[in-house]
């Protein structure tokens, strides 16, 4: 066991986080990235005796006992095709990509038959402390001993293992990650289209709005390929994102038409299905937590909002028969925050009523909601058409718009996640 070495192909944000933690636990790590980054990586890890930076994936594959592919999901086939045949006899191989169907297909296609397959997925970004976070383990083509070895190596992350099959993983992450990202991506697109920085506008400051802003900026500060990969390459994700866009559109039409009763009926029916009375108990999030993380000055009084983005989320969970709490053992921090604010709204009858009244009587949000509806449909179309380039173009354009505020938003976002995680871990 002392001789076991771990290979990491792809030393981006996640690969480096894994390399640092696994080597700190005493394992030998062989790692590489693309040849252009070899020299920089050599310098960056010159002081790490346990991390051996190698020129390419062939060298990593032939010398390591457990190899993790931590590359872009869209490149997984190409990279495994290249280095898979060089895998050491009898080694165990896995991947860290966010969508498992293409990863497993690539392993089955390109790895020699003697190689075992145990994949993984840390359900959080590289800046979050992995301790206590879910870590999915997929025993795809492997003995129990190999799974034990992988779990032993990854135990240094301190995460909670969740054993799933590849298809279970993809179904759950479509419900949790893909549609959550679609909602926040659409908020960012709408603010950018209206040339707004929401933290500068009183109606977007405080409570639920803080979570919307911080999470949106957090997503846009990350890399486009992470979100494009998990939305476009996961077949179940397309349906979820499409339903979300449809719910946004239908609810917005009811608001525009002033159909108070129909809107109320629909929201209440969806709410009763998703948040039945008997699943009550403590809220995941409360005012004191929500109000602490503001990028702008809190106004003296909370400003009303119709929260179209949240109403549409519950509507689409209802339409798709999704029970969001069921996925909590396997959820990301952003999903827990998203569920936290929807629950906060739907478990507060006065706030929900205020939302409906605002939707019908107050036209302050019409322009924002119009852009939000366009954005939700546009993201959904780009995902349905499998349009990676189109996804990237839109993502990076909006990313540029918000970039000046990333450092501050990331700092606040990290604090917010920490506080919220401490709170939600107890439940
Ligand atoms: N970031 C996140 O929040 C999370 C990401 N993931 C998943 O983990 C994986 C990695 O993500 P992340 O680290 O954020 O992404 P990065 O883009 O930071 O890292 C991927 C790295 O792999 C490199 N790479 C590409 N091709 C090769 C190759 N042939 N040989 C060696 N290295 C190669 C890339 O180089 P180049 O840039 O030149 O292509 C890049 O440096 C993705 O599949 C992502 O979906 C999982 C959980 C969380
Ligand atoms: O928490 C989220 O949803 C994130 O945005 C971070 C993230 C991105 C990709 C993953 O595969 C896992 C976590």
Yes or no: say if 198 and 213 are a contact pair by the CB < 8 Å rule. Answer: yes
Of all protein residues, the one whose alpha carbon is nearest to atom 11 of ligand 2 is 98
The pLDDT of residue 427 is 45
Q: How far is the CA of 68 from the centre of ligand 1 (A)?
A: 11
Ligand 2 atom nearest the C-alpha of 180 is 3
Query: How high is the pLDDT of residue 54?
Result: 98
* Cβ atoms within 10 Å, residue 96: 22
**d(Cα 7, Cα 10) in Å, to the nearest integer?**
10
Task: Identify the residue whose C-alpha is closest to ligand 1 atom 38.
Answer: 34
pLDDT tens-digit profile, the chain (427 residues): 658 999 999 999 999 999 999 999 999 999 999 999 999 999 999 999 999 999 999 999 999 999 999 999 999 999 999 999 999 999 999 999 999 999 999 999 999 999 999 999 999 999 889 999 999 999 999 999 999 999 999 999 999 999 999 999 999 999 999 999 999 999 999 999 999 888 777 666 667 888 888 889 999 999 999 999 999 999 889 999 999 999 999 999 999 999 999 999 999 999 999 998 766 566 666 666 666 666 666 666 667 889 999 999 999 999 999 989 888 888 898 898 899 889 989 999 999 999 999 999 999 889 999 999 999 999 999 999 999 999 999 999 999 999 998 988 888 778 877 777 676 554 4
Rounded CA gap, 218 and 227, in Å? 12
Ligand 2 pocket check for 377: Cβ under 6 Å: no
CA angle 112, 116, 118 (to 5 degrees): 135
Instruction: Ligand 2 pocket test: pick from 124, 130, 133, 176 the residue with the most ligand atoms within 8 Å of its Cβ.
Output: 124
Which atom of ligand 1 lies closest to the CA of 78? Answer: 29
Task: Give, to the nearest 10 degrees, the angle between helix 260-274 and helix 349-361.
Answer: 150
Q: How far is the CA of 80 from the centre of ligand 1 (A)?
A: 13
CB contact set of 109 (below 8 Å; sequence gap of 6+): 77, 80, 81
Residue 23 Cβ < 6 Å to ligand 2: no
In ligand 2, the atom with minimum distance to the C-alpha of 173 is: 11
| Gyration radius of the chain's alpha carbons | 22
Q: Ligand 1 center to residue 14 CA distance, Å?
A: 7
For the stretch 319-329, what's the b/e string if a residue is b when 16 or more beta carbons lie within 10 angstroms of its beta carbon?
A: ebebebeebee
This model's pTM is above 0.90: yes
Distance 226 CA to ligand 2 centre (A): 8
CA of 29 from ligand 1 middle (Å) equals: 17
Using CA atoms, how far residue 52 sits from 28, 40, 79, 156, 326, in Å, is: 8, 13, 20, 19, 41
* Atom 4 in ligand 1: residue holding the nearest Cα: 125
- 396: CA distance to ligand 1 center in Å? 17
pLDDT at 117 (0 to 100): 98
Pairing of strands 66-69, 92-95: parallel
Cβ pair 35, 42 in contact under 8 A: no
Count CB neighbours of 348 within 10 A. 13
Q: How far apart are CA 15 and CA 8, in angstroms?
A: 7
Secondary structure of the chain in HEC code, one letter for each residue: CCCCEEEEECCCHHHHHHHHHHHHCCCEEEEECCHHHHHHHHHHCCCCCCEEECCCHHHHHHHCCEEEECCCHHHHHHHHHHHHHHCCCCCEEEECCCCHHHHHHHHHHHCCCCCEEEEEEECCCCCCCCCCCEEEEEEEECCHHHHHHHHHHHHHHCCEEEECCHHHHHHHHHHHHHHHHHHHHHHHHHHHHCCCCHHHCHHHCCHHHHHHHHHHHHHHHCCHHHHHHHHHCCHHHHHHHHHHHHHHHHHHHHHHHCCHHHHHHHHHHHHHHHCCHHHCCCCCCCHHHHHCCCCCCCCCCCCCCCCHHHHHHHHHHHHHCCCHHHHHHHCCHHHHHHHHHHHHHHCCHHHHHHHHHHHHHCCCCHHHHHHHHHHHHHHHHHHHCCCHHHHHHHHHHHHHHHHHHHHHHHHHHHHHHHHHHHHHHCC
| Residue 186, ligand 2, Cβ within 6 A | no
- Alpha-carbon span 366 to 305, nearest angstrom: 11
pLDDT computed for residue 287 by the predictor: 62
Determine if ligand 2 sits within 6 Å of the CB of residue 334.
yes
The torsion region of residue 10 among left (phi > 0), alpha (psi -120 to 50) and beta comes to: left
State whether the beta carbon of 125 lies less than 6 angstroms from ligand 2. yes
Give the separation between CA 248 and CA 399, rounded to whole angstroms: 23
The whole-angstrom separation of Cα 219 and Cα 192 is 14
Is the CB of residue 226 below 6 angstroms from any atom belonging to ligand 2?
yes
Work out the end-to-end distance of the chain between its first and last CA atoms, rounded to an integer number of angstroms: 37
Q: What's the complex ipTM? A: 0.99
On whether the CB atoms of residues 136 and 169 are closer than 8 A, the answer is: yes
Per the structure block, which two tokens stand in for 228? 């494009």
pLDDT of 76: 98
Q: Which atom, in ligand 1's list, is nearest to the CA of 16? A: 13
Please tell me the distance from the alpha carbon of residue 351 to that of residue 67, in angstroms, as a whole number.
Answer: 51
- Residues in the ligand 1 pocket, defined by CB under 6 Å: 9-10, 12-15, 32-34, 57, 70-73, 75, 79, 96-98, 122, 125-126, 222-223, 226, 229
Rounded to the nearest angstrom, the distance between the alpha carbon of 113 and the centre of ligand 1 is: 26
Pairwise CA distance, residues 343 & 265, whole Å = 18
Round to whole Å and give the CA distance between 427 and 423.
Answer: 8
- For ligand 1, mutation pick of 8, 11, 12 (most atoms within 8 Å of CB): 12
Closest CA relative to residue 33, chosen from 75, 5, 89, 66: 75
Helix axes 260-274, 235-257, angle to 10 degrees: 150
Which residue's CA is the nearest one to ligand 1's atom 31?
33
- Position 283 scores a pLDDT of 66
Cα–ligand 1 centroid distance for 148 (angstroms)? 25
């Amino acid at each position: 066991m002392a001789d076991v070495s771990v290979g990491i192909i792809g030393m981006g944000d996640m690969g480096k986080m894994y390399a640092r933690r696994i080597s700190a636990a005493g394992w030998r790590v062989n790692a590489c990235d693309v040849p252009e980054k070899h020299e920089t990586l050599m310098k960056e890890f010159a002081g790490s005796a346990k991390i051996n930076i190698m020129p390419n994936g062939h060298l990593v594959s032939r010398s390591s006992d457990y190899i993790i592919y931590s590359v872009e999901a869209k490149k997984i086939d190409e990279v495994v095709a290249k280095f898979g045949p060089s895998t050491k006899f009898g080694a165990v191989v896995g991947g860290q990509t966010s969508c498992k169907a293409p990863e497993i297909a690539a392993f089955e296609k390109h790895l020699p038959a003697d190689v075992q397959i145990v994949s993984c997925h840390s359900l959080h970004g590289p800046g979050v402390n992995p301790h206590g976070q879910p870590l999915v383990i997929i025993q795809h083509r492997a003995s129990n001993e190999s799974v034990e070895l992988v779990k032993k190596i990854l135990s240094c992350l301190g995460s909670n293992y969740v054993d799933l099959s590849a298809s279970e993983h993809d179904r759950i992450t479509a419900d949790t990650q893909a549609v959550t990202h679609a909602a926040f991506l659409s908020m960012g697109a709408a603010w950018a289209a209206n040339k707004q920085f929401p933290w500068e506008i009183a109606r977007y400051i405080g409570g639920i709005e803080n979570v919307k802003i911080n999470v949106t900026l957090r997503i846009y500060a990350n890399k486009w390929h992470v979100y494009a990969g998990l939305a476009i390459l996961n077949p179940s994700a397309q349906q979820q994102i499409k339903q979300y866009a449809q719910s946004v559109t239908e609810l917005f039409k009811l608001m525009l038409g002033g159909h108070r009763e129909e809107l109320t009926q629909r929201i209440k029916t969806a709410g009763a299905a998703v948040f039945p009375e008997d699943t009550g108990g403590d809220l995941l999030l409360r005012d004191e937590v929500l109000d602490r993380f503001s990028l702008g000055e809190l106004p003296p009084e909370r400003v009303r909002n119709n929260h179209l983005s949240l109403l549409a989320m519950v509507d689409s969970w209802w339409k798709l028969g999704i029970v969001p709490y069921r996925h909590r053992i396997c959820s990301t921090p952003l999903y827990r925050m998203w569920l936290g604010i929807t629950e906060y709204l739907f478990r507060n009858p006065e706030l929900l009523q205020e939302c409906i009244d605002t939707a019908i009587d107050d036209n302050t949000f019409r322009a924002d909601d119009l852009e939000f509806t366009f954005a939700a449909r546009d993201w959904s179309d780009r995902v349905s058409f499998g349009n990676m380039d189109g996804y990237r173009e839109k993502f990076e354009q909006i990313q540029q718009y918000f970039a000046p505020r990333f450092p501050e938003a990331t700092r606040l976002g990290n604090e917010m996640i920490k506080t919220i995680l401490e709170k939600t871990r107890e439940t």
